[in-house]
A and B are shown apart, each in its own frame.
Chain A
Amino acid sequence: MKLEEKLKSVRRSPWVFHLNSGSCNACDIEILDALTPYFDAERFGVKLVVSPRHADVVLFTGPVTREVLPKVIRALRAVPRPRVVAAIGSCAVGGGIWWDTYSTIGGFPKLQEILKRYGVEIDRVVYIPGCPARPEAIVYGLLVALGYVKQKVSKVVKTVES
């Protein structure tokens, strides 16, 4: 419950930092689209900042290439607590079409295991699938991260009757 109290202070105007970890730029363009007046994420106080030290939410894109891994760890360590990460796009969520290549780590879940070893804790992660994720999906994901709306999806198990 402590995290919820901390998030309440962030909720009014979350400042976002855009962290690209080797993405193809499609998700990055959609993030820009979400911030433009057309989809206007600034209605909820979302503002793009240039330093991770100023950020409340990190908009994370890309499958984390090996080259960018140390820089990503440094950037995420610089984010003040509570750290909220929004993993955007199928690359960041599950590795995407680079799920088994040699040169990528394979998305944010794999990165989180590495971050644990380095002592960098992530307080909340929200996964936003999509290739690329729609601007509406990004806005919806941010609202889920901050606790404005409840998430729609849950694990489904279907059994075939025969």
Chain B
Amino acid sequence: MQVNRIAAPLKLLTIAFKTGRVTKKYPFGPPLITEAFRGAISIDPAKCWGCGACVLVCPPNALDIIFEKEKIVIEYFKGRCIFCGMCADTCPANAITVTKEFELAATNLEDLKEDVVHRVSKCAVCGKPFAPAAELRDVMKMHPITEEYANICPDCRRKRTARAFGMRFGASI
């Protein structure tokens, strides 16, 4: 019995020596991050349209879209983000990429916010701002719509179509 009492800790010692040092040297060395790890997202302002598809799909509303008079702002709040990557999947312009950034600790909440500011283009007829300029630019690239047709707001376009129909059927508008 007494031999066992001495031998049991010795067994542990051999296991410990065989395993060696397992501690990661993280702040002084590389972090333990795998290929599949998802960190904070980054929005590429050169590609972003400002369509707001990411805002609709975000589960915790970390992405928010704010309509102001002359600009549309997409706000990304890293503090509430659950790093699911659904916005990167849905983005029609592939502007959102999932990075491996995880060192996001901040002493101020404002430091965790990221804004993407879009200019709003105005209607050529009534002058009312109606859509982000980047979205119009890229839609015109993708589809053969003339610029005269695309830069008119939905209301004015409806009126114009109605007028065209009316003229065809002989109404005097």
Query: B166 on the interface (CB 8 Å rule)?
Result: no
Residue with the highest number of chain B CB atoms closer than 10 Å, among A107, A152, A156:
A156
A143-162 CB mask vs B (1 if < 8 Å, else 0) is: 11100110111111111111
Q: How many chain-B residues does the 8 Å CB contact rule pick out?
A: 46
B117's nearest neighbour on chain A, judged by CB, is A159
Q: Is the beta-carbon distance between A157 and B117 smaller than 8 angstroms?
A: yes
A-B contact count, CB below 8 Å?
A: 152
For B114, the chain A residues whose CB sits under 8 A away are 155-158
What are 24 A-B contacts with C-beta separation under 8 Å?
A: A37-B23, A38-B22, A38-B23, A43-B23, A90-B80, A90-B81, A93-B80, A94-B79, A96-B82, A127-B109, A128-B104, A129-B79, A129-B105, A136-B26, A136-B31, A136-B33, A136-B103, A145-B105, A154-B111, A155-B113, A156-B114, A157-B117, A158-B45, A160-B50
4 shortest interchain CB distances as A-B pairs:
A94-B80, A141-B105, A93-B79, A131-B82
Q: Is B61 an interface residue (CB 8 A)?
A: yes
Q: A99-B80, A155-B114, A156-B114 are in contact. Are A137 and B102 (CB under 8 A)?
A: yes
Instruction: Provide the bound-state CA to CA distance between A148 and B105, in Å.
Output: 13
The residues of B with any CB-CB pair to A shorter than 8 Å are 22-24, 26-27, 31-33, 40, 43, 45-46, 48, 50, 59-62, 77-83, 102-107, 109-119, 132-134, 137
Interface of B is mostly: loop
Query: How many A residues are at the interface, by size bracket?
Result: 35 or more
Q: Which residues from B are CB-within-8-Å of A38? A: 22-24
A148 to B104, CA, bound (A): 15
Chain B residue with minimal CB distance to A34? B26
Q: Which residue of A lies closest to B104 (CB)?
A: A129
Tell me whether A153 and B137 are in contact (CB under 8 A). no
A78 at the interface (CB under 8 A from B): no
